[in-house]
Structure 1
Amino acid sequence: MESISVFEIIKVGIGPSSSHTMGPWNAAANFLKQIRTNYSIADVKEVYVEFFGSLAKTGIGHGTDVAGMLGLSGEDFKVIDTGKITEKVEAIKNSGLINLGGEKVIPFIYGEHLILNKKRSLDYHPNGMIFRAVFIDGKELVQDYYSVGGGFIATREASSYENHCIRTLYPCHSGADVVRNIEKLGLNKISDLIFQNEESWRPRAETEREALYIWQQIKECIYKGVNKEGILPGGLNVTRRAAAWNTKLLGDKIYRNIDEWFQLVVDAEETFTTINKWVSCFALAVNEENASFGRIITAPTNGASGVIPAVLMYSQAFTEHTSEEEIIRFILVAGEIGTLFKKNATISAAMGGCQAEVGVSSSMAAGALTEMMGGTPAQALMAAEIAMEHHLGMTCDPIGGLVQIPCIERNSMGAIKAITAANIALESDPAKARVSLDQVIQSMWETAQSMSDRFKETSEGGLAIAVNVAEC
């Protein structure tokens, strides 16, 4: 089994969906790479992309079509001006042309060159797509891709992380592996072990810089979210709430930048109710940004991108564990727990429902917060188990195919559950626990396999049907 870096699980992304936006975007970029490797962009006459199954059924609401067009245009979601996404997409649709890879303008008719096939699914994975390039000489290049969660893509031949197939010094493919290696090395923290394994990808100093960069991105995303009012795009007319909460919680206090705002939060009243409201506000802020094609931190997916930021911000605003080292260790532990779900179950809602997104993110945050608060490795794994245990069976049923209802509020609930799970674990003896993290991961995967496809990001069951709204 391949080792996965924590920064493959926690990374910079773009809304609204890691599986339905980032995955197709990455697939388009990979297809351009294949064209350049085997042929030339200049030799392409036409290009086609067809999305199937879950990608098609919630494709408009999740921006799958947008990702396909911008990906084929050679845009990079890590650096694109998110404020110009709509403008760029409308230009393609209105002109009937696409600048393939930023190198050659060719015909591109929406509905002909890009198709959302809601009637068919590919066998390999619910999130399937096929790209096809037709060259001037009549030759064709065809490639299938599958968006398998968290922005990861795969083909039938190889996984998306084929270039990262690294075997770490102390492989951790299960919770039992984590415990075994910690005992073998005589370590006191899970993060001590992860630091050593991450050196298979980069020096320790670079790992620390990347973790702090992610923390900075988290703060900026929350700050943007608490300072934006209005209606979220997509047609459901969902009102942004984080800004109003922020104003109500801060009262008449004035700030001019992110640092001044953060200090006001730190100095805020610390009652149970107030802290609870701040945690929810943090999560709402991130997921409102995600719902509007904002730049967020995928952790491990976009639909669950508010949980870890909310819990980490909680730790920095309302606990004494505020050093840079503790922030770094939090991100490392959270990411490592995410890899266990990725390798042994799924982080794709199309495969496992929302338990695979918010459930996994809550588990990641719970384990990381427990170590940060002084918990033992066993207590951290126990917290991760508790958080997932109480998300088992959670369906993915976005109304109108949008990552808004119930997704945004669900992140607030996942964050609160993570904090609660950490508190329970910190007051418990893991030796007396009857359920292990590995067992709950296995149970989650079995639940995912038994779950009807109606509840796996298709908008064909649950709230998506009870609230009868056509895909927006």
Structure 2
Amino acid sequence: MAISVFDLFKIGIGPSSSHTVGPMRAAALFATALRERGLLEQVTRVEVRLYGSLSATGVGHGTDRATLVGLMGEWPDRVDPKQIAPRIEALQASRELLLGGSHPVAFDWQRDLLLLEENLPYHPNAMTLIVEGEAGELHRDTYYSIGGGFVVDEAQARSGQLDQDTTELPYDFSSAEELLELCQRHNLRIAELMLANEKAWRSEAEIRAGLLKLWDAMQECVTNGLGHEGILPGGLNVRRRAAKLHRSLQELGKPNVIGSTMSAMEWVNLYALAVNEENAAGGRMVT
């Protein structure tokens, strides 16, 4: 199976790739499908059904909000995390959803967003999106958020062919041993071999630009995690600790990192903590 680095690393929003990123992608795909089918302007009602795990922990993980923002036409790698809360507040106040970012539809949070205990057959992270028009139902689809931001629809799940990418790589491998053998045979470094494989999908310029975009998103996540304090959302009253720890490490008088006991690992732990807290707060993440 061919997997790109841009499949392995996706820019999204926290706190969860399967409960936040995946549902937002699914909802955005659904809104796009409505536009492509010429149905968007006919919609008078939208219903969101969250099943299984998405229902049980969806509110805490922001699945409900992520899905609705996706229906507004936003994608997890492009949306500004700071705009999600005010847009949801505006939706609840106006009781109107801007479907696909352009078509206003009346939306009642209690009536039109259902958290159901039922489990669908293919995966516990399931959601069904339904739209109706003046004459009744226009379209529906069920999506499964299978982890890492990957999403499959009902047709894919039924077929059992979850990977539909048939790209042939110049240096295909399925184990580290095969990778090293290919490098030795073709006199390539691992980075050179992987770049050659990535070129099966996109140009080198696009690859390098995409990698820099991933790096910038990672840096943004760390910076925001170090710059915010207070209580994390979710109702558990967990206090952010990264900013305080950062100040403490900066006050150590710039010791020799190699010689000072555990100081190097303390900085590693700090950055991991900053990333985890920013993800939990619904900020930018790379999954």
1:178 and 1:156, CA in 2 relative to 1: closer, same or farther beyond 3 A? farther
Partner of 1:55: 54
1:64 and 1:249, CA in 2 relative to 1: closer, same or farther beyond 3 A? same
**Secondary structure of the corresponding residue to residue 23 of structure 1:** helix
Q: Which digits, 9 at most, give the CA deviation of each residue in 1:368-399, with x for residues without a partner? A: xxxxxxxxxxxxxxxxxxxxxxxxxxxxxxxx
Partner of 2:81: 82
Partner of 2:210: 210
Partner of 2:21: 22
1:26-41 correspondence to structure 2 within 5 Å: 26-41=25-40
Number of residues of Structure 1 aligned to a counterpart in Structure 2: 282
1:190 deviates by: 2.3
For 2:14 and 2:99, how far apart are their aligned partners in 1? 23
1:176 deviates by: 4.2
Partner of 2:225: 225
For 1:293 and 1:8, how far apart are their aligned partners in 2? 21
The amino acid across from 2:243 in the alignment is A
**Secondary structure of the corresponding residue to residue 181 of structure 1:** helix
Partner of 2:45: 46
Contact in 2 for aligned 1:231/1:237 (Cα 8 Å): yes
Partner of 1:145: 143
Greater fraction strand: 2
- Decide which of 257, 264, 276 is 1:275's aligned counterpart: 264
For 2:167 and 2:203, how far apart are their aligned partners in 1? 15
Contact in 1 for aligned 2:220/2:284 (Cα 8 Å): no
Contact in 2 for aligned 1:153/1:160 (Cα 8 Å): no
1:51 deviates by: 0.9
Contact in 2 for aligned 1:98/1:106 (Cα 8 Å): yes
1:50 deviates by: 0.6
1:402-421 correspondence to structure 2 within 5 Å: none
Unmatched 5+ stretches in structure 1: 254-263, 299-472
For 2:91 and 2:162, how far apart are their aligned partners in 1? 28
1:384-463 correspondence to structure 2 within 5 Å: none
Contact in 1 for aligned 2:31/2:72 (Cα 8 Å): no
1:232-247 correspondence to structure 2 within 5 Å: 232-247=232-247
For 1:172 and 1:157, how far apart are their aligned partners in 2? 29
- Decide which of 293, 301, 308 is 2:282's aligned counterpart: 293
Contact in 1 for aligned 2:130/2:137 (Cα 8 Å): no
For 1:36 and 1:181, how far apart are their aligned partners in 2? 45
Normalising by structure 2, we get a TM-score of: 0.90
1:16 deviates by: 0.8
For 2:135 and 2:181, how far apart are their aligned partners in 1? 58
Unmatched 5+ stretches in structure 2: none
For 2:76 and 2:162, how far apart are their aligned partners in 1? 17
Greater fraction helix: 1
Q: Which digits, 9 at most, give the CA deviation of each residue in 1:383-426, with x for residues without a partner? A: xxxxxxxxxxxxxxxxxxxxxxxxxxxxxxxxxxxxxxxxxxxx
For 2:18 and 2:48, how far apart are their aligned partners in 1? 16
**Secondary structure of the corresponding residue to residue 157 of structure 1:** helix
Normalising by structure 1, we get a TM-score of: 0.56
* Match status 1:71 vs 2:49: no
Identity of aligned residues (%): 39
Contact in 1 for aligned 2:229/2:241 (Cα 8 Å): yes
Q: Which has the higher contact order (CA 8 A, sep 6+)?
A: 2
* Match status 1:132 vs 2:130: yes
Q: Which digits, 9 at most, give the CA deviation of each residue in 1:259-302, with x for residues without a partner? A: xxxxx8xx86432411111110000001111111111222xxxx
**Secondary structure of the corresponding residue to residue 44 of structure 2:** strand
CA-atom RMSD in angstroms: 2.1
1:172 deviates by: 2.6
